[in-house]
Amino acid sequence: VPAYFVVLDELPLTTNGKIDRRALPAPDMTRSEVGYVAPRTPSEEIMAGIWAEILHLDKVGIHDDFFALGGHSLLATQLMSRIQSALQVALPLRALFEAASISALMLKVAEADTRVSAPPIWPVDRDAPLPLSFAQTRLWFLDQYESRRELYNIPAAVRLTGQLKVDALARTLNEIVRRHEALRTSFAMVGDAPVQVIAPASPLALEIVDLGGLPAVEREAQARVHLQDEANKPFDLATGPLIRFSLIRLADNEHVLLLTIHHIVSDGWSMGIVVREVAALYQAFMQGLPSPLSELPIQYVDFAHWQRQWLSGDVLEQQLGYWKRQLADSTSLLMLPTDRPRPSLLTHNGAMLPFAVPAALVSDLQALGRQTQSTLFMTLSAAFNVLLARYSGQSDICIGTPIANRNRTEIEPLIGFFVNTLVLRTEVNLSLGFTELLKQVRTNTLDAYAHQDVPFEQLVEALQPERHASYTPLFQVMLVLQNAPMDELALPGLAMKLLDSEGATAKFDITLNLTEAQDGLQGGFEYSTDLFEASTIERMAGHFMNLLQAIVADPGRAVGELPMLGEAEREQLLYAFNPVAQVQPGTQLPGLGAPCIHQRFEHWVRQT
Integer Cα distance of 481 and 63 in angstroms:
28
Provide the pLDDT for residue 485: 64
CA separation, residue 290 to residues 172, 294, 492, 524, 603 (Å): 11, 11, 17, 41, 87
Query: Model confidence at 470, in pLDDT bands (50, 70, 90)?
Result: very high
Residues 23-36 as b/e (b if ≥16 CB within 10 A, e otherwise) read eeeeeeeebbeeee
Cβ atoms of residues 466 and 332 within 8 Å: yes
Enumerate the domain spans of the chain: 42-111, 134-301, 348-485+505-571
CA separation, residue 101 to residues 44, 134, 547 (Å): 11, 36, 32
DSSP assigned state of 264: G
Provide the pLDDT for residue 137: 93
Provide the pLDDT for residue 112: 74
Of 53-62, 125-134, 303-312, 417-426, minimum mean pLDDT range: 53-62
In the predicted structure, residue 588 carries a pLDDT above the cut 50: no
pLDDT per residue as tens digits for the range 379-394? 999 999 999 999 999 9
pLDDT per residue as tens digits for the range 521-578? 999 999 999 999 999 999 999 999 999 999 999 999 999 999 998 877 777 777 666 6
Provide the pLDDT for residue 262: 96
Provide the pLDDT for residue 591: 41
pLDDT per residue as tens digits for the range 128-143? 999 999 999 989 998 8
Mean pLDDT of 444-460: 90
pLDDT per residue as tens digits for the range 235-264? 999 998 999 999 999 999 999 999 999 999
Mean pLDDT of 352-362: 95
Provide the pLDDT for residue 302: 97
350-358, strands of its sheet edge to edge: 350-358, 520-528, 510-517, 477-482, 396-403, 420-427
- 107 or 198, higher pLDDT: 198
Task: Kindly report the length of the chain.
Answer: 608
Query: Model confidence at 114, in pLDDT bands (50, 70, 90)?
Result: low
| Percent of the chain whose predicted confidence (pLDDT) is above 90 | 58
Do the domains 134-301 and 348-485+505-571 sit in the same CATH topology, yes or no?
yes
Provide the pLDDT for residue 70: 85
CATH number of 134-301: 3.30.559.10
Contacts for 363 with CB less than 8 Å, ≥ 6 apart: none
Cβ atoms of residues 357 and 552 within 8 Å: no
One-letter identity of residue 94:
R
Rounded to 5°, the CA angle 273-278-284 comes to: 130
In the predicted structure, residue 308 carries a pLDDT above the cut 90: yes
One-letter identity of residue 579:
P
Cβ atoms of residues 355 and 526 within 8 Å: no
In the predicted structure, residue 32 carries a pLDDT above the cut 60: no
Dihedral-angle region of residue 393 (phi above 0 means left; psi in -120 to 50 means alpha; beta otherwise): left
Mapping DSSP to helix (H, G, I), strand (E, B) and coil, where does residue 248 land? strand
Cβ atoms of residues 536 and 391 within 8 Å: no
Mean pLDDT of 91-112: 86
Cβ atoms of residues 378 and 442 within 8 Å: yes
Instruction: Give this prediction's pTM.
Output: 0.81
Residues 348-381 as b/e (b if ≥16 CB within 10 A, e otherwise) read bebbbbebbbeeebbebbbebbbebbbbbbbbbb
Of 19-33, 51-65, 168-182, 325-339, minimum mean pLDDT range: 19-33
Integer Cα distance of 128 and 146 in angstroms:
30
Mapping DSSP to helix (H, G, I), strand (E, B) and coil, where does residue 537 land? helix
One CATH from 3.30.559.30, 3.40.50.970, 3.30.43.10, 3.10.129.10 for 348-485+505-571? 3.30.559.30
Contacts for 26 with CB less than 8 Å, ≥ 6 apart: none
Query: Model confidence at 422, in pLDDT bands (50, 70, 90)?
Result: very high
Provide the pLDDT for residue 395: 97
One CATH from 1.10.1200.10, 1.20.1260.10, 3.40.50.300, 2.40.10.10 for 42-111? 1.10.1200.10
In the predicted structure, residue 29 carries a pLDDT above the cut 50: no
- 432 or 40, higher pLDDT: 432
One-letter identity of residue 235:
F
Mean pLDDT of 331-342: 95
Average pLDDT, the chain: 87
Mapping DSSP to helix (H, G, I), strand (E, B) and coil, where does residue 184 land? helix
- 544 or 373, higher pLDDT: 544
pLDDT per residue as tens digits for the range 162-221? 999 999 999 999 999 999 999 999 999 998 899 999 999 999 999 999 999 999 999 999
Integer Cα distance of 411 and 407 in angstroms:
8
